[in-house]
Amino acid sequence: MKYLFISDIHSNLVALDALLKKADGISKKYSLVCIGDIVGYGAQPNECMERITGLTDKIVLGNHDAGVIGKTDIRMFNYSAKEAIIWTREKMSRKHLKRLNDIPYIIAEKNFAVVHSSPSNPEYWNYIDSIYEAQDEFKVTGFELTFIGHTHIPLIYRLKNEEVNMLFDEHLECEKNARYIVNVGSVGQPRNKDNRACAVLFDNEEGTLDYIKAEYNIKSAQEKILEAHLPRFLAERLERGL
């Protein structure tokens, strides 16, 4: 079985469609898993919800998703993020708001777990952005692989021989005597100075992880944000990949 893990779409339908097209060109058969933040920031929340829910029911809730439906206090967000959440609440259909309410914080499969932020506190939106946080999370999750998003930075933490290392390999063959926390990066708003949409293809039988990067029409996504009168900063940052 192959799995395509995507995260942090953030209402960027242009990026999402480009990434899905790239993935289809690599492997026609895979199971799609969404690691949250389908909405927020961008200008096409309903369209992104329609696309994702039409392709998979394997979805976990992200902090922006939770902010839109009132499960997370939006005072924790910065100005631009908060404004986008308020705008999104007004624009989203009842059907999609109800669907967001039904999405769990964590999914556990046979040999992997999926959570937007951290296994230890899925509802508190902690960041795993250093070896020290990863060490703590490995103590909580007993899975061989845990897939996350949230930071928008693609990287892999490996626990082997009681030592945690940070890996930036775009192709990785998983070792039998190691465990991994895999940040799949962001489809709709990358923050690693690479403005391409990013995701991970996992081959469960081969035990391989491959990052997929897709160029997309950034100008089109920017125009949609500006036409919606969302904060200009949200459009400008797409080009910089920050």
pLDDT surpasses 90 at 28: no
Q: From CA 14, how far away is CA 203, in angstroms rounded? A: 26
Q: State whether residue 145 is helix, strand or coil.
A: strand
Mean pLDDT, to the nearest integer, of 185-213?
A: 96
In the 8-state DSSP scheme, what is residue 76? Answer: G
pLDDT of residue 90: 96
CA pseudo-torsion sign 53, 59, 65, 69: positive
Domains and CATH numbers, the chain: 2-240 (3.60.21.10)
Mean pLDDT, to the nearest integer, of 110-126?
A: 95
pLDDT surpasses 90 at 111: no
pLDDT surpasses 90 at 27: no
pLDDT of residue 64: 98
Least confident of 14-18, 93-97, 138-142, 235-239: 138-142
Mean pLDDT, to the nearest integer, of 220-227?
A: 98
pLDDT in tens, 152-195: 999 999 999 999 999 999 999 999 999 999 999 999 999 999 99
Strands (E), 80-217: 106-108, 112-115, 145-148, 155-160, 163-167, 171-173, 178-183, 197-203, 208-214
Neighbour tally for 194: CB within 10 Å = 13
Phi, psi angles (nearest 5°) of residue 46: -65, -40
Q: Considering the entire predicted model, what is its pTM? A: 0.97
